[in-house]
Amino acid sequence: GAVVSQHPSRVICKSGTSVKIECRSLDFQATTMFWYRQFPKQSLMLMATSNEGSKATYEQGVEKDKFLINHASLTLSTLTVTSAHPEDSSFYICSANEGTVNTGELFFGEGSRLTVL
């Protein structure tokens, strides 16, 4: 199946710093990518939809100035957690769709575990 890769897989940072997470579709073009956040023992929570060449669409309750999303090419979307705080520590997962509309076959990255000290 299609491959989606995230980098870094783990990152530890100090409170107040910004962290960038990359999501790449390795063997297909993705006009749309999705960013999820997952806390321990919980389900994935959709944060935003990343659209190539346009602004991201954020879910209700997600601060767009806190979680900056850039989708500059058809194979790369980035999530920047700005001024990170310990409560931002989480597992961040991206996904991209390969296929026709509504088939729902998303491919997920390996996830990036952020720890804010």
Partner 1 sequence: LAKTTQPISMDSYEGQEVNITCSHNNIATNDYITWYQQFPSQGPRFIIQGYKTKVTNEVASLFIPADRKSSTLSLPRVSLSDTAVYYCLVGDSGGYNKLIFGAGTRLAVHP
Where along the sequence are the contacts to partner 1 (CB under 8 A)? Answer: 1, 4, 6, 32, 34, 36, 43-46, 49, 91, 93, 95, 97, 101-111, 113
As measured in angstroms, the least distance from the Cβ of 70 to partner 1 is 18
SS3 59: coil
Q: Which is nearer to partner 1, 23 or 81 (CB)?
A: 23
Cα–Cα dist 115/112, whole Å = 10
Shortest distance (Å) from residue 103 CB to partner 1 = 6
Rank residues 82 and 111 by Cβ distance to partner 1 and give the closer one.
Answer: 111
